[in-house]
Structure 1
């Protein structure tokens, strides 16, 4: 299990990079919107294509890079209240079944969103803003990457539930250094 925790700690750093990207995108989006509102209010002009750039570039950067971190943090609803009513053996069976079902659905999402991203790359999908075409297809790859990271998170949770006695819906990190495990 020590090797799994070391690998998970490395994966955790990837999730932190994603949350930083999302945070920086939120700040950039906020500054762009504030600047645009000030320009419209004070000078009766706005950023040409500002709305489209925020919609097509900033919003995906806010949502998708941090999705795996949010999923792993435990803020999304799980079946905790229902699971507490069952014994440990039944909890483990239900959790394993739920994880396998989630993995099935998430792998389908990754597969179809990857196909969509590849189609967008092939067709070089772009959006018009201020009379110019801006490429949109690179941002399509954020979706399969984000859901792929959630698949990896679920695989870690599955391995944890197989190797440890106490069932859990989260990959709770051990207290202290991993070497002490």
Structure 2
């Protein structure tokens, strides 16, 4: 189990990098909007193509890099009320079933979003802003990467439930966890 925790600890740093990217993107988006509103209000001018840049660049950078961290944090609903009422064996079976179902759906999302990103790359998808075409296709790859990281998280949870006697839908818990991860 220690090897799994070490690998998960490395993966945790990758998820933290995603959260930092999302946080910095929120900050940049906020500064860009404040600057644009100030310029419009005081000087009757604005950032040319600012709305399109925020919509097509900043918003995906806010959402997708941090998605795996949010999923791993356990804030998303996961049938906790039902699982608490089951005995340990039934709970473990239900968790395995839900994890396999999630993995199936998430792998499909990764596959189809990867195909879409590759199609965008082939077509060199772009968007117009202020009379210039800006490339959009690189951001298409954020989607399969984000969902692939959730697949990896679910694989870690699956392995944890195989090796551990305490079934759970999250990887990080306060009990039975090595001290360096607290």
Please report how far the alpha carbon of residue 129 of structure 1 lies from its aligned counterpart in structure 2 after TM superposition.
Answer: 0.1
What's the secondary structure of 2:179's corresponding residue? coil
d(CA) in 2 for partners of 1:175, 1:50: 47
Q: Which residue number corresponds to residue 177 of structure 1?
A: 180
Please state if 1:57 is matched with 2:60. no
In the TM superposition, what whole-angstrom CA distance separates every residue of 1:126-181 from its partner, at most 9, and x where no partner exists? 00000000000000000000000000000000000011111000001524137xxx
d(CA) in 1 for partners of 2:142, 2:53: 16
Q: Which residue number corresponds to residue 42 of structure 2?
A: 42
d(CA) in 1 for partners of 2:155, 2:178: 21
d(CA) in 1 for partners of 2:145, 2:37: 33
Q: Which residue number corresponds to residue 144 of structure 1?
A: 144
Please state if 1:77 is matched with 2:80. no
Q: Which residue number corresponds to residue 130 of structure 2?
A: 130
Number of aligned residues: 178
Alignment of structure 1 residues 8-47 onto 2, 5 Å: 8-47=8-47
Q: Runs in 1 of length 4+ with deviation above 3 angstroms?
A: none
d(CA) in 2 for partners of 1:21, 1:112: 24
Return 89-98 or 169-178, whichever deviates more.
169-178
What's the secondary structure of 1:128's corresponding residue? strand
Q: TM-score, normalised by structure 2?
A: 0.96
Unaligned runs of 5+ in 2: none
Return 167-176 or 120-129, whichever deviates more.
167-176
Q: Which residue number corresponds to residue 156 of structure 1?
A: 156
d(CA) in 2 for partners of 1:72, 1:8: 11
What's the secondary structure of 2:133's corresponding residue? strand
Q: TM-score, normalised by structure 1?
A: 0.97
What's the secondary structure of 2:166's corresponding residue? coil
